[in-house]
Amino acid sequence: METRLDPKIVQAINGENDEAKKAGTRPCLMNRRQFLLTGGIATTVVMVGIPNMAEAQTPAVISTYPRKFITKLSSLKVDEPFDFLYPDEGDYSESMLVKLGTKAGGGIGPKEDVVGFNYTCTHQGGPLQGTYQAADKALGPCPLHLTTFDLTRHGIFISGQAYQSLPQVLLELEGDDIFAVGMFGLIYGRFDNLRG
């Protein structure tokens, strides 16, 4: 199977740019364009090549995320999470939206401060419901091994046992309506976000 990714996508995944390369650093925060570009990998068409059968190149089956209405932007209050299920109603789909009151990676709205995350800890699946910390704009500590995740920086872990960021829900704003349109990162307990 041959998969070709656009160099810009690879660059977005790695968080690299020319200045960062010169300085030997990698910025953590992606801008919104990079974030959406990276999330778009989920819908990238993958061509499957069969040896000696050039004419048999066919697009693989593509799964796409549902576009789901979540709530109204005007109904959100700063530091009050809004819970929902995404991308389906199966295991580990519990997620949350929150208006942080401060600009965040992947944030939407006039202040780019509305973000969405899955509630399942990436370490061993601990439930993060009810752990939002307004002072730190974070989720955690996880009740199992105390990991805390930074919601202003794409859910990166701040402390604890997890070593993967919390999956972030890709959001779109249409007028006052907020839609979930994808996920950035693998949900704990799933081998594929869309197939359980």
* Residues that bind ligand FES in the complex, under the rule CB under 6 A: 121, 123-126, 142, 144-147, 160-162
Q: How far is the CB of 26 from ligand FES (least distance, A)?
A: 24
E strand or H helix that includes residue 97: strand 94-99
Q: How far is the CB of 67 from ligand FES (least distance, A)?
A: 30
DSSP letters for 1-15: ------HHHHHHHHT
Identify which of residues 12 and 162 has a Cβ nearer to ligand FES in the complex: 162
* CA angle at 35 for the pair 107 and 9, rounded to the nearest 5°: 175
Helix (H, G, I), strand (E, B) or coil at 29: coil
Q: How far is the CB of 99 from ligand FES (least distance, A)?
A: 25
Are 154 and 169 spatial neighbours (Cβ–Cβ below 8 Å)? no
149, β-bridge pairs: 139, 157
Q: What are the structure tokens assigned to 80, written together?
A: 């009050």
Q: How far is the CB of 77 from ligand FES (least distance, A)?
A: 27
Identify which of residues 114 and 162 has a Cβ nearer to ligand FES in the complex: 162
Identify which of residues 34 and 131 has a Cβ nearer to ligand FES in the complex: 131
Identify which of residues 146 and 156 has a Cβ nearer to ligand FES in the complex: 146
Are 118 and 92 spatial neighbours (Cβ–Cβ below 8 Å)? yes
Query: Active-site positions?
Result: 123, 145
